[in-house]
Chain A
Amino acid sequence: MIDQAILQQIYDLSLSASIRENVNAFPVIESLHVLAVALVFGTILIVDLRLVGFASYRGSAQRMVTELLPYTWVAFVLAVVTGALMFLSNAVAYANNTQFLLKLVAIAIAGLNMMWFHSTTYRRIAIWDEDMPPPAAARFAGVMSLILWTAVIFLGRWIGFTLDLFF
């Protein structure tokens, strides 16, 4: 695991201190995080449901994916930046929080699932672009993504109830 001394150094950064000391900083960062997470999940859900086999607002799966994923990525970057700022403000507590660590694991697996899908089935999307239902591998990737991102949201909200600020 991460060295507690390094975590303490992160905690002692002036940026971390200013987030802790400014009354509005944390709520604003947290609200932006919720907004970003909602946009990540909301847009991924649309793509995942299409991969699972629900008809969407256009026939072509590929066009929909290329149309929506830029929004997902912008929102994901915002979620990572705001998430990192919240982590900085209480690095020791977060690094020792089980829900936080599990959330990172779930995000990592979701990332691997996406990379696997993009490097295999998605490469052949021209073949199954308008097919209903999509191939089994695409449906599997969609279901996995839905389960993992749902877990990410549950774990994220649970952090707020389990974080031990006096760690």
Chain B
Amino acid sequence: MSMVDFGDWLYATPVSTAIRETSWIIPNLQSIHILAIAVLVGSALVTELRFAGVLAVDRPVGDVMRRFLPWMRWALLVLLLTGVVLVVAEPGRTLTNTVFLTKMALVAGASLVTLQARKSLLVASPVQEGETSPAEASKALAWLMLVVWCLVIFCGRFIAYV
């Protein structure tokens, strides 16, 4: 079964049809999706700029991470749930769409780095109180992460246009 066939099958299921035909569902799901993106990107901005040594440099990295990591986890969960329903509703627009697949790859990579790599980094080298200067590699990664989240937003909007 190809992705196109799967998309066609999904599109024809009663669930998919019901979501599409209830006119208020998709706009409200997309609104919640954007709210969750805002939570994620706002949290990412502060934590990554902390890693980059730009923002809140007088605060330990660990304190900043502890404040925002739970919010990022919840935001990612909401994004996943609303995103799944949006895909179920309109599989043809997403599953075979290169922009959508690119977005998924970027989200997977960025989420992994956010939830795992950084956490282990914190566990491996617990930060002491007061001034801490993050490693250069971590700084570069921080800027890369901000670029990736921007790309995710661009891909997300461009799904509708390609």
Give residues in A with beta carbon < 8 Å to B. 27, 30-31, 34-35, 37-43, 45-46, 55-58, 67-68, 71, 150, 153-154, 156-158, 160-161
Contact = CB atoms under 8 A, between A and B. Distances in A.
A153 B45 contact: no
Interface of B: 26-28, 30-31, 34-35, 37-43, 45-46, 55-56, 58-59, 63-64, 66-68, 150, 153-154, 156-158, 160-161
Contacts of B58: 58
Contacts of A42: 38-43, 45
Contacts of A161: 26-27
Given A46-B46, A150-B35, A157-B34, A38 B41 contact: yes
Contacts of A34: 34, 37, 153, 156-157
Contacts of B158: 27, 31
Contact of B31 (A45, A55, A67, A158): A158
B46 to A, nearest CB: 7
Given A31-B153, A35-B153, 6 more contacts: A37-B34, A38-B42, A46-B43, A57-B66, A157-B30, A157-B34
